[in-house]
Amino acid sequence: MPELTLRELSVKEHRGPRLAPLDVPAEGAERLLPRERLRGEAPALPEIPEPAVVRHFVNLSVLNHHIDKAIYPLGSCTMKYNPKLNDEMAQMPGLQAIHPLQPEDLSQGALAVIWELHEWLKVIMGMPAITTQPAAGAQCELTAILMTRAYHAERGNPREEVIVPDSAHGTNPSTVHQVGYRVVTVPSGPDGCVDIGALKREVSGKTAALTACSTWTARI
């Protein structure tokens, strides 16, 4: 039988974890905020006791195939095994319960982790500088094409086209279009690599960049 939805499991007045009692004098939302800005009734979120919530998500979880169960030979992005230690380290309170705007001298551990990672990735990539700010591979591409545009614009002409191999991930043409460039597609040869002859014919003074496969800019 399929797992019910949260809405179907909800029973009015069931409650999850409770908060400690309010330890300051209660003024009431109606006194602190304009009445017309309040939503009245609480949002109709599920009302389910914790054990039932846990069972619901455990029941759903076992419907998934996942890499800890067996390999998953699919993907334009690949799913690799991650050592269990990684999660354990990332969940240390000293690395997890910290605010991004706390003073730098009280964040030296977090900054050291980021710096070490950058130093390693620079060696592995063979590049002199790095940012790990983008949130996903597709956003890395966006960052790269925006940087390309800024580079050319600073030299007086942002140019018009970006060359994308037909073997590139769908994000490549989509990103190029989002940054306002025309996509010029070059075919692959019989060996599966970019047809260099075709590429040479397409490159011109209008070309702003050639996108490589998304793995060049992928999320680590």
Partner 1 sequence: MSFVGRSEAERRVMLKQIGAESVEALWASIPPEFRVQGSLPLDPPLAEYEITRRFAQWAEANADANQYACFLGAGIYDHFIPAAVRSLLSRSEFATAYTPYQPEVSQGTLQTIFEYQSMICELTGMEVANASMYDGATACAEASLLATGATGRRVVLVSQGVHPHFREVIRTYASAGSFDVRDLPLDHGATAAAGLKRMLSPEVAAVLWAQPNFEGIVEDGAALTEAAHAAGAYSIASADPVALALLLPPGRDGADIVVGEGQPLGVPMGYGGPLVGFFSIRKSDVRRLPGRLAGATVDLDGRRGFVLTLQTREQHIRRERATSNICTNQALMALANTIHLALLGAQGMRDVATQSLEKAHYLARRAAQVPGVSLANGDRAFFREFVLRLPGPATGFLRAAEKRRILAGVPLSRFDGARPRDLLVAATEKRTREEMDRYVDALAEWARHPAQAPVQEAACRS
Contacting partner 1 within 18-77 (CB under 8 A)? 18-19, 22-27, 29, 32-34, 36-39, 42-48, 50, 53-54, 56-58, 60-69, 72, 74-77
Cβ proximity to partner 1, 45 vs 203, nearer residue: 45
> What is the amino acid identity at position 71?
I
User: Do residues 94 and 109 lie in contact, with contact meaning Cβ atoms separated by under 8 Å?
Assistant: yes
- What is the distance between the alpha carbons of residues 37 and 46, in angstroms, rounded to a whole number? 23
Q: DSSP class of residue 194?
A: B
Cβ proximity to partner 1, 53 vs 199, nearer residue: 53
Does the footprint of partner 1 cover residue 136 (CB under 8 A)? yes
The alpha carbon dihedral of 47, 52, 57, 63 has a sign of negative
- What is the distance between the alpha carbons of residues 137 and 220, in angstroms, rounded to a whole number? 8
Subset of residues 181 to 200 that bind partner 1, contact rule: CB under 8 A = 183
Cβ proximity to partner 1, 44 vs 129, nearer residue: 44
Q: How far is CA 117 from CA 103, 110, 121, 200, 220, in A?
A: 21, 11, 6, 37, 11
- Residues facing residue 164 across a β-bridge: 185
Does the footprint of partner 1 cover residue 211 (CB under 8 A)? no
Does the footprint of partner 1 cover residue 155 (CB under 8 A)? no
Among 130, 152, 160, 174, contact with partner 1 (rule: CB under 8 A) = 174
Q: Please, what is the minimum distance in Å from the beta carbon of residue 71 to partner 1?
A: 10
Cβ proximity to partner 1, 77 vs 213, nearer residue: 77
